[in-house]
Each structure stands twice: as C-alpha cells, then as structure tokens.
C-alpha cells in the first residue's frame, strides 16, 4: 500500500508540474451540520501554476441523496467574472475510469447510501492558469429531505486538455488529470 501510494503521489506531482492547472490547497464546507432538505456550500481554494490554458473541472463523489447545484469557478473574481461550471457526465466518468490521479480505487467514495454519479462540472472554455494566483471554486450540495445520515465523500479538482473535438476521451488524444482531492463530510441533523 505504501509503495503504491508513493508512486501515485509522484505521478500527481509530475503531472502538476508539466501542465497548466490549479492545485487544490484547501477546502471546506460553509456549514458542518445541515438540516435535511437544506444546503451547504463546498469551497475549493486553488493556486495556479504557470502553463497553457485548459478546462478546469471539479468532480464531487458524495454518498447520500445530494443534489449538486450552482458550481462556479473563480467566485472571488481574480481572473475576471466568475464562470458558471457546466455539467459533463462523460468527463466525470472518463476521469474516474482513466484520468491521471482520478482513480476511484485510490480514494473510493464511502459505501454509505447511494453515491452521486461521476459528474464533473467544467469551465465551458479553457481558462488561463496564472502562477501564484489564488482562486476559489464552489458548489452547493442540497440534501434531500429524506436524508437521515451524514454525507461523506471525495471531491476531486483537475483539468482537461481537449484534442479539439469537444469530447472527453480516455486515450492519448486528451489529457485528463486530477490535481488534487480531498476526503470530506458534513453531518445531517
């Protein structure tokens, strides 16, 4: 287990140094205890590396009956106006199946309740990656009124370099890499 984890960390660091991306530096939920039927917001605080533009994505894999709403990149307007992220189920599944550093076997979502499908939320167009710029990406997690227990899971952030056809592909045509992940949870009261 230790050697496999070290190899994965080395691969992630190499991918991050050689490509344009935003690295996850910290994250949190705005509310740690959420009433059933209410929402909390996940905040991913990111730092840029200097390289070519690529599409940023966030990939929440939460267990429980949770609806992801209003995902936004650059909420603090460090790079211009905030960018609404658009859902891309294909990108999410390709990232989990073949993306570098996105492997679900590294940190699988907890088995408590139904896990959210592998839906990524991406910037509609490539975004400039600026070295040492701090940006924030967020999404709301609305808990179903029927949810009885806490919501554990994993949230990945990453980038997608498209080969120009607009289709996420798990082959050498596209580069899909997760540049950070966090295991996370909030309670339902």
CA distance 103 to 44: 19
Residue 116: its pLDDT value, please?
58
Residue 9: its pLDDT value, please?
43
Residue 138: its pLDDT value, please?
97
Cβ atoms of residues 188 and 103 within 8 Å? no
Domains of the chain (ranges plus CATH)? 2-188 (2.60.40.3670)
CA distance 110 to 102: 16
Residue 51: its pLDDT value, please?
73
- The SS3 assignment for 126 reads coil
Residue 69: its pLDDT value, please?
95
Cβ atoms of residues 60 and 85 within 8 Å? no
The pLDDT profile of the chain, 189 residues, written as one tens digit per residue, is 454 444 444 344 444 444 458 999 999 999 999 999 999 999 999 999 877 789 999 999 888 889 999 999 999 998 889 999 999 989 998 998 888 888 666 555 555 555 556 789 999 999 988 888 899 999 999 999 999 888 988 899 999 999 888 889 877 788 999 999 998 899 999
């Amino acid at each position: 287990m230790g050697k496999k984890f070290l190899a994965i960390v080395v691969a992630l660091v190499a991918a991050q140094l050689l490509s344009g991306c935003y690295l996850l530096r910290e994250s949190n939920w705005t509310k740690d205890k959420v009433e059933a039927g209410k929402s909390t917001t996940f905040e991913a605080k990111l730092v840029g590396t200097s390289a070519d533009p690529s599409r940023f994505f966030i990939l929440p894999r939460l267990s429980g009956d949770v609806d992801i709403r209003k995902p936004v990149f650059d909420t603090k307007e460090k790079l211009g106006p905030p960018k609404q992220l658009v859902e891309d189920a294909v990108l999410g599944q390709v990232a989990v199946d073949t993306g570098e550093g996105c492997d679900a076997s590294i940190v699988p979502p907890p088995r408590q309740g139904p896990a959210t499908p592998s839906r990524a939320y991406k910037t509609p167009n490539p975004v400039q990656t600026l070295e040492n710029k701090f940006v924030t990406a967020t999404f709301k997690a609305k808990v179903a009124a029927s949810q009885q227990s806490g919501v554990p899971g994993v949230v990945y952030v990453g980038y997608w370099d498209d080969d120009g056809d607009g289709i996420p592909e798990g082959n050498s045509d596209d580069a899909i890499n997760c540049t950070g992940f966090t295991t996370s949870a909030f309670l339902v009261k």
